[in-house]
Amino acid sequence: MSDQYDITPRVIIARHGQTDWARVGRFTGTTDIELTQKGIGQISTAAATLVGAGKLLDPRRLTHIYVSPRTRAVETFKLLLPQYSDFVPGKVTFTEDIAEWDYGNYEGLKDMEIRNLRKMRGLDGEREWNIWTDGCEDGESSQQVTERLDKLILQIKEIQKPYMRGEKPADVLVVAHGLILRAFAKRWINWSIDRDLPMEIQPGGIAVLSYKDNDTNKPTLNLGLALP
């Protein structure tokens, strides 16, 4: 049997590098903020280590790239793949579908500040606030996030479906933000956003999603990859 990891299209997800707000735990959704010097270093190191011919992220295998339009994500994309730093029609899409969760009234706050604010307003008497279930006041609900992610996932599957047995390289890269990428991973495996799946992706981190048995109806999380 063929080694499916050599031929099955993958979705490579990359979180932007550190920002000043991310460094101190502030919820950063719609606010446009640049990478810190450390964040630039994180992405530069990832690019040198993981990007290139025969490496985890091989530009020759990319058929499409989706990038959040927020500055921190765009900077990350340009550092990872400088050869695509100019918009490439048909190859790169900057889309709000993979922008960070809109935190509404919670923008710029820390987790405990949000919880205290809600309790001052008489909320969460029976249970603690959970963004996956409750969403954000004057921001996005989990249903709204689900709808836009599902639209993007459908596009990706349509792109990759004709090439599930290696007819041509068809990897897709998604460059975005911490919370939305965790939500993306849940929706990728058809889990509801409010279903508990403890996971983390660090600033500058890269992870891989794919399919089992070369089948778009069997999306998977790759827990480990064999090196080329």
Q: Is residue 49 part of a domain?
A: yes
DSSP, res 139: S
Query: What is the C-alpha end-to-end distance of the chain, expressed in Å?
Result: 18
pLDDT at 166: 83
Identify whether 50 is part of a domain: yes
Q: Which of 64, 75, 100, 140 is catalytic?
A: 100
User: Which pLDDT value is given to residue 228?
Assistant: 57
Residues of the chain with pLDDT under 50: 1-5
The answer as to whether 74 is a domain residue is yes
The full 3-state SS of 166-198, as one line of letters, equals CCCCCEEEEEECHHHHHHHHHHHCCCCCCCCCC
Instruction: Write down the residue that tokens 């100019």 correspond to.
Output: 86
Among candidate residues 16, 75, 140, 177, the one labeled active-site is: 16
> Is 177 designated active site?
no
- Residue 136: domain span: 4-221
pLDDT at 61: 93
Does some domain include residue 78?
Answer: yes
The residue count of the chain comes to 228
Residue 152 lies in a domain: yes
**Distance from C-alpha of 21 to C-alpha of 133, rounded to nearest angstrom:** 24
Clarify whether 64 is annotated catalytic: no
Count of domains for the chain: 1
- Domain membership flag for residue 185: yes
Q: Is residue 226 part of a domain?
A: no
Q: Kindly state whether residue 227 falls inside one of the protein's structural domains.
A: no
The H or E element spanning position 92 is: strand 92-94
CA dist 181 and 177 (Å) reads 6
Q: Tell me, what's the pLDDT at 114?
A: 97
Average pLDDT, the chain: 92
CATH number at residue 192: 3.40.50.1240
Rounded to whole angstroms, the Cα distance separating 116 from 161 reads 47
At 224 the pLDDT is 77
